Structure 1
């Protein structure tokens, strides 16, 4: 291959050693600086529990089967970091479900937000598919995932913030001013 016909903007790489961003040229239109380093994409993490591990928390499983809007509201409040209360999210879910019967599509958006936030795999299938066919199991899995990440779901976003600030304050040692002697 003629050096001028290489598909790479930076010609320090040979065909045996492709550039760190893969075997394709950069599609930005900008040529990278000589010796530029590109970060490899981070691998996606698996969920801490399986989709069908609903019985691991019988209390939440029963609540979600009877009233999924409550579980959804708790999940949405944590994912949205308190910008909307759990009660408001639960009401929106309930209204969508009562009027269209397709609240699963609304809940699927929050599953996607959660996966992006925590770099979780899209498994066992697409988010919309999981929510449309296994709504209760999907909500239970999301609830368990947030619990396993240290959130107390009953406390909501503000309660978790206050709890974590309290922990940080009790673990911080007092500062002692040095005394100068002559």
Structure 2
């Protein structure tokens, strides 16, 4: 349903015969858009499920943040760039949690995760290292190898294989 400036209501036309909308029969488009939020695979304070990441995040959270941000951004920003920006914000204004909470929200929306135990910004403001560890573990449990980055994960899954052009001989031949 659409409304024009003069409050006239318009309904979209039905799809042409033979064209599917991609929505299963009996489910409205509203139900598809509002997917149920699922739980995180680990709790916020389960940092000792991955002790090595817990130590890295405790002493240098920019590394964990960079790894998480690269996967969430699907390779559009590198681990180094995200980690450096995180460190710069931490050094200049000391409120790096504002930057990292946006990535938590983006991750929750990508994977339909619940906003728990509370709002994303509150989690990052009061439990920054625990939140970063939880995001890291979540991505790891979803099959990502966090140490190798986005592109290498794609190649390992077979989605990023390079397609080489066919060999063509130089010059004119018959």
TM-score bracket for this pair, using the shorter chain length: 0.7 to 0.9
- 1:109 paired with 2:97, answer no
Q: 2:74 aligns with which of 68, 81, 104?
A: 81
State the partner residue of 1:97.
90
Look up the match of 2:28. 38
Q: Which region of structure 1 is more displaced relative to structure 2, 39-48 or 71-80?
A: 39-48
Deviation at 1:37, TM superposition (A): 6.0
Q: TM-score, normalised by structure 1?
A: 0.72
The alignment status of 1:128 with 2:121, answered yes or no, reads: yes
Q: CA shift at 1:77, angstroms?
A: 0.3
Q: Distance in 2 between matches of 1:64 and 1:153?
A: 13
Coordinate RMSD, CA, aligned: 2.3
Unaligned runs of 5+ in 2: 4-8, 15-25, 162-174
- Structure 1: gaps spanning 5 or more residues: 1-25, 169-182
* TM-score between the two structures when normalised by the length of structure 2: 0.76
- Give the equivalent residue in structure 1 for 2:42: 49
Aligned to 2:23: none
Q: CA contact under 8 A between 2:2 and 2:11: conserved in structure 1?
A: no
Q: 1:100 to 1:44 in 2, by over 3 A?
A: same
Q: 1:30: how far off?
A: 3.0
Distance 1:64 1:27 in 2: 48
Seen in structure 2, the aligned counterparts of structure 1 residues 43 and 91 have a Cα distance that, compared at 3 Å, is same
What is the distance in 2 between the residues matched to 1:129 and 1:120?
16
Q: Please give the alpha-carbon distance, in whole angstroms, between the structure 1 residues aligned to 2:12 and 2:89.
A: 48
